[in-house]
Structure 1
Amino acid sequence: MIKSYYSMGLILVTALALSGCFGGGPNAPVSLRVLNYFDTTLPGSAEEEARVWDAFEEANPHITIVREDLYGESYHAKIAACIEARKFPDIIFAWPSGGSTGLHAGKFLKDLSPLAAGDKLGTAFSPAALDGGAQAAGYLGILPRSLTSTHAFYVNTAVLADAGLTAAKTYDELKAQVPILRSKGYETIILGNQDGWVMQECLFSLIAGRFCGEAWEQAILSGKAKFTDSDFTAALEFIQSLYIDRVIARTTLLIDYGDVVTQFAENKAAYLIDGDWRAQAFIPLERQDILVTLFPEINGVKFNDSTSVVLGAGWGISANIRDKSPEERAAWRLIQWLSGRETQTWLLSSGKIGIPSRIDIDENALDLEPIQKEVAKFAREYKTGTAVIDRVFPEAVYSAINDGLQEIAMGTKNPGDLSFTVQNALDVWKSKQ
């Protein structure tokens, strides 16, 4: 009788193990529910489905994907309903903040950092992409598939060659080029400075990050630091020096954002400051002589290898998924596939992303325009991604900064006064929360 019970118990344990109740093997059958942000009406959507999703299931026959494709408001309505019900798909397409802040704030996404560290993703991804502090949850809730630098330093090598110069590596070199370029009839740097957001997004956010350090915006938002502190004021003083040194002319306040590319393409200046997205405007021009890099090194600042970065969207795993379960293993395998080298290479070559979050992609091997290759390699140009002001501070604050930066350009406001104005805007906003 005892032997019979023993045999039955052994059979039951074996059955449970095979069914996955004890964790299952690495290839245990798993079904994953996926919420994808995807417009099936766009050209190329069928190719993306075949190249990305169908290919994954073919390579992983033990994983069944039940995918729901939503786009626009229908997607956001679905997320809102999931948050209200506290029930989520296993895999969720999301942004690092913005419209996905509710997912992050509620801690409804797993922290992917242990999984990323376990698979040594730091060797394949940009450090900025794996910076959990840059996401609204404060940890790595999603694995981004792309990056956007709101700053890019476009270099017109034809203009520089005509003046007998090469691209400046430091601010002192840049300042020394001003009289030489002016003698040849060229401006040094132009930007669409008539629009208030451009200086703030495309240059000052980078400068603030270099002077104030990593996560400077969180220190201010938490009250541990203030806009009136010496480092932020020094960043504003640097902007003032750009005009005093004539590196940027005050006449740029008359340049509309829509016109600046034309002026740069017509060789009016040696350098253009804009976002990395502006590279698309140069593709029809077939320019071979434009480089894309970072603003030159500034002596004495904290982070010369930084730029202002917005993480792209990506995929996260529902916090409801158990650690080390077959579902987690399968979900992580899918996320790595969706952000894998092959997938990102295809997304890059098809124009669906501009800067991949991976740094192990050889853009020179792809059929891209020269300017696209310049932008694609941009993630290897910097080690630190710092905050974009109008993405993290309320409108009352970034509007005060936008207006103040133009006032500094006109010489009607000094950096110290602007620091107090901005801090006051933040204090008033906080008092109303």
Structure 2
Amino acid sequence: MTSKKRWMMWGAAGLAVVVAVGSGILVTTSMDRAEPTPAAATATAEATTITATVNGKGAIAAASTASAGFVDGGRISTISVAVGQTVAAGQELATVDPGPADLALEKAHGALTAAQSSLDAARQTAQAGVDALAAAKAALAALAADAPERQSTEGTIRDLTAQGPTQRDAVAQAEKVRDDARRDEAAAQTARDQTTLLAPIAGVVTAVNGTVGTILTGGQSAQAAGDGTNAASATASAGLVSIADVSSLRVTASVPEADIASVAVGQTASVTLPVKGADPIDGTVLAVAPIPQSSTDGVVSYAVAIQLATVPAGVRLGQTAVVAITVATAEQATVVPAEAVVLTSTSAGTVEVRTKSGKTKTVEVTIGISTPTQVQILEGLRPGDTVRLSTPTAAPAGGDDPDGQTPADDGGSFGGPQ
């Protein structure tokens, strides 16, 4: 009986040990499965080139456009060009019926002929008066002082002298009439010439606003070469034929008001077209609008005109273009990831720097160029310094240790306890 009780006691004790050991194994296994605290991310300050850009979107446009129309209008007789056709300066575009212009020119020519005849007659009369006066004076000089003809000759001289101013006025008036007739004939000739419409510039025909037989009202040709920041300044008034000079192209891009202060004339830009495989095109900021564009969605933007350095093959007017304007750049600059800097102002901040002992210290820095991913450090860091990134790291499940306590601080060092 005693032996049996002793065996039962040992058995119970053994079971207790097994349970304890088993419990220990469970505890140990549970602790082994707890995830360690992730190491803090770091980066090394580098000496490199940093570039800040401002982005915008716009459309390809010609630097110069023109619209050709008939000055005096008329019925269209011929149209010699079509949309998309390339034309040279001075090339014939269209004609209107020249009949009315021919009649006007004939009338002007007749008036000039008559005016010239009147002037010739006035000059002959005036010259005859001058010659007669000279002859009378010569005859008087040849007469003796007591000659009977002397008195009549003196009277003739007086009459001829008195007629001189009138004759000279008649010549002057006839000259004025002749000059007016000349101008009228020149104007009539110009009107006749303008019944043939010529291209004012070389380029591509972008519009033909009429057909043969259409009667047009008069409208002067217009040419525009705006800077691209004002749509009205870069569009010629509507005429029969519109032409765009595609040998020089620009992009008028909309830039948000938050970025416009850093954009200036002369800055370089990269222009990208939404064409598969298209290479970026170099450009230069030509003009920045002083007032914002109208906006219907509450977003304020400013027009920035960018001159393209080259005309890429296959580009089309009106094509969408994305621009990246370089507003600042620095070479051999000390640069760190943006996540490493805590800003205290637009030009200053703090960075956590790892020391030789493996700890960290907070360093105040002066900031230069900033981009969404990088920051230039003007003062406070050197290339090769290791900085701590402020990107949040994942915490253990539940955010606590298995015992329910928050993990102790590691003293600010990288990678957990040293």
> TM-score scaled by structure 1?
0.20
Structure showing the higher helix proportion among its residues: 1
Answer with 1 or 2: which has the greater Rg: 2
User: How high is the TM-score relative to the length of structure 2?
Assistant: 0.21
